[in-house]
Amino acid sequence: MNDSLIIQPFSKPVSGSVQLPGSKSITNRTLALAAISGSKVTLEGALFSEDTRIMVDSLQKLGFSVQDDETAKSITIEGRSGTIPNAEAELYVGNAGTAARFLTALLCLRDGGCYDLDGSPAMRERPMRGLLDALEKHGACKVTYKGKDGHFPFTLETKGLSGGYLEVDASASSQILSALLIVAPLAEGEPLIVNILGETVSHPFIDMTLGMMEQFGEDPEIGGHTGPFKFRCGPYTAPGASYQIEPDATAASYFMALPWVVGGELLLPKCGHIELQGDIRFLDVLGQLGGSFDEESGTLQVKYPHRLIDGFTQNFNPISDTFLTLAALSPLLNTELTITGIAHTRKQETDRIAAMATELEKLGQNVTETEDSLTVHPDVEAMIALTKDAPLGIDTYHDHRVAMSFGILGCYDLHGDGRPWLEIHNPACCAKTFPNFFDVLESLRS
């Protein structure tokens, strides 16, 4: 793919059906749960992208048998009942938050292992301390940092996970808690009780973890879904020989938004059956923008009979991966938009609040940031003036969601004559979760 992609606006309302990739979060959770189960499982409808490739490659380096078939979108993995086959490995987790946190916890199940872990430059800045401190304090590992304390790269000398009582600060990322919950039932001896210190962000992802642990035969004994959590001891059992992965609800958010931008309607097969992913609640946000949704045989139909353009305030903490989808469209609203609850996204692929603010300001929008919020005062006239002579370039900061969100905005026929006005730099960064995003968008145009 070229270094830059000029987005061709849609000259007529969109219609058609979008085949979405499998969920990143469910694919990488299934791989982690299956690896430490006593079962052989085939993931169907799995995501094939950078983040899941990293998980598959790492599990193979650790000695697990993992076979994948990208054409069939299936991955088969043989569980080793909590054993990590190889005692030594060098793992590279790129910028995959799920792989970084889930693998770190998984490794600690091995007594006497020594693993070197590193990530991309962005990952070296992302929060790991809550997880590493909890594991180290519990005696499950010794961590030697090779760069900045609390961050990648580090060496993990692992000692096995014992039962007892463990406290974790997961206020920087829910993945820290999810990682511990995934390994908790494999603790040796007495059951492991996991207690949360302070607030957790993105709580629907904790529900996803607990829901999938339940599918794999575990159920917390106490504390419900807010903790403390206590599981029985023993490996997981897969719910069957195959496991169907839901389509990715965050990826769906771009195509839920597209008909609002260009008119028309889209069909999203299997999106009517999404149960594990909180991001499907982005539909409630779009409902406030006039969206109407029908569900037939699991296919979700998205259309906008009334294109409401009033702005509003919304706490995006539970669905923070989708805040960029809405923020990028804010220039097309007619009143101010405020998004709150997103401080933790400053420590994700990039500082997402700063990235969105910078790019929206480039488009002439009046933007105010606080530590945990973003307010946009839309100014469509300024955007028209700034793009009248040539397409304006959007920087994407190696963040797939910045690229995809502004990609949807660029589909709007801003000048009324089909002239392109937005150019996405480094569109290939979508490979993290949705490698063919811009091809799918193009197919809808024709």
Ligand X SMILES: O=C(O)C1=C[C@@H](OP(=O)(O)O)[C@@H](O)[C@H](O)C1
Ligand Y SMILES: C=C(OP(=O)(O)O)C(=O)O
Should residue 252 be labelled a site residue for ligand X when binding is judged by CB under 6 A?
Answer: no
Should residue 98 be labelled a site residue for ligand X when binding is judged by CB under 6 A?
Answer: yes
Give the 3-state secondary structure of 403-429.
HHHHHHHCCCCCCCCCCCCEEEECHHH
Q: How far is the CB of 160 from ligand X (least distance, A)?
A: 25
Should residue 348 be labelled a site residue for ligand Y when binding is judged by CB under 6 A?
Answer: yes
Contact partner at residue 168 from ligand Y, ligand X, none, CB < 5 to 8 Å by partner kind: none
Is 321 among the residues known to form the active site?
yes
Q: How far is the CB of 111 from ligand X (least distance, A)?
A: 27
Residue with tokens 């492991």: 192
Should residue 43 be labelled a site residue for ligand Y when binding is judged by CB under 6 A?
Answer: no
Q: What is the Cα 151 distance to its own chain's centre?
A: 20
Single-letter residue type at 81? S
Single-letter residue type at 157? E
Closer residue to ligand Y (CB): 57 or 379: 57
Instruction: Kindly name the residue from 321, 351, 399, 413 that is annotated as catalytic.
Output: 321
Is 346 annotated among the ligand-binding residues?
no
Q: Which two tokens stand for residue 182?
A: 């995934």
Q: Which two tokens stand for residue 90?
A: 């060098």
Whole-angstrom Cα distance, residue 105 to residue 187? 11
Q: In this structure, what is the dihedral angle of CA atoms 118, 123, 126, 131, given to the nearest 10 degrees? A: -40
Q: What is the Cα 215 distance to its own chain's centre?
A: 21
Q: Determine which residue in the list 9, 97, 235, 407 makes contact with ligand X, applying CB under 6 A.
A: 97
Under 8 Å between Cβ of 285 and 314? yes
Q: Determine which residue in the list 30, 158, 173, 396 makes contact with ligand X, applying CB under 6 A.
A: 173
Which run of H or of E encompasses 212? helix 203-215
Q: What angle do CA 413, 349, 366 make, to 5 degrees?
A: 45
Should residue 23 be labelled a site residue for ligand Y when binding is judged by CB under 6 A?
Answer: no
Contact partner at residue 151 from ligand X, ligand Y, none, CB < 5 to 8 Å by partner kind: none
Should residue 120 be labelled a site residue for ligand X when binding is judged by CB under 6 A?
Answer: no
Give the 3-state secondary structure of residue 203.
helix
Is 24 annotated among the ligand-binding residues?
yes
Give the 3-state secondary structure of residue 325.
helix
Should residue 202 be labelled a site residue for ligand X when binding is judged by CB under 6 A?
Answer: yes
**Of residues 289-348, which lie at the interface with ligand X (CB under 6 A)?**
320-321, 344
Q: Determine which residue in the list 92, 115, 205, 438 makes contact with ligand X, applying CB under 6 A.
A: 205
Is 160 annotated among the ligand-binding residues?
no
Is 432 annotated among the ligand-binding residues?
yes
Should residue 52 be labelled a site residue for ligand X when binding is judged by CB under 6 A?
Answer: no
**Of residues 9-38, which lie at the interface with ligand X (CB under 6 A)?**
25
Is 445 annotated among the ligand-binding residues?
no
Should residue 178 be labelled a site residue for ligand X when binding is judged by CB under 6 A?
Answer: yes
Q: Which two tokens stand for residue 357?
A: 């603010």
Whole-angstrom Cα distance, residue 311 to residue 330? 8
Binding piece for ligand X, criterion CB under 6 A, among 74-82, 201-209, 294-302, 349-357: 201-209
Should residue 201 be labelled a site residue for ligand X when binding is judged by CB under 6 A?
Answer: yes
Q: How far is the CB of 293 from ligand X (least distance, A)?
A: 23
The interface mask with ligand Y, positions 92-111, x = CB under 6 A, is ---xxxx-------------
Is 227 annotated among the ligand-binding residues?
no
Whole-angstrom Cα distance, residue 163 to residue 175? 21
Rounded to a whole number of angstroms, the CA Rg of the chain reads 22
The interface mask with ligand X, positions 54-93, x = CB under 6 A, is ----------------------------------------
Whole-angstrom Cα distance, residue 163 to residue 180? 12
Whole-angstrom Cα distance, residue 335 to residue 311? 5
Whole-angstrom Cα distance, residue 77 to residue 1? 31
Binding piece for ligand Y, criterion CB under 6 A, among 31-39, 89-97, 112-120, 268-276: 89-97
Which runs of consecutive H residues, i.e. helices, occur in 128-173? 129-137
**Of residues 300-339, which lie at the interface with ligand Y (CB under 6 A)?**
321
Give the 3-state secondary structure of residue 238.
coil
- Bridge partners of 322, per DSSP, are none
Is 373 annotated among the ligand-binding residues?
no
Q: Determine which residue in the list 9, 62, 401, 435 makes contact with ligand Y, applying CB under 6 A.
A: 401
User: Which residue numbers are catalytic?
Assistant: 321
Cite the annotated binding site by residue number: 24-25, 29, 97, 126, 173-175, 202, 321, 348, 352, 401, 432
Applying CB under 6 A, the residues found at the interface with ligand Y are: 95-98, 321, 348, 401, 433
Applying CB under 6 A, the residues found at the interface with ligand X are: 25, 97-98, 173-175, 178, 201-202, 205, 320-321, 344
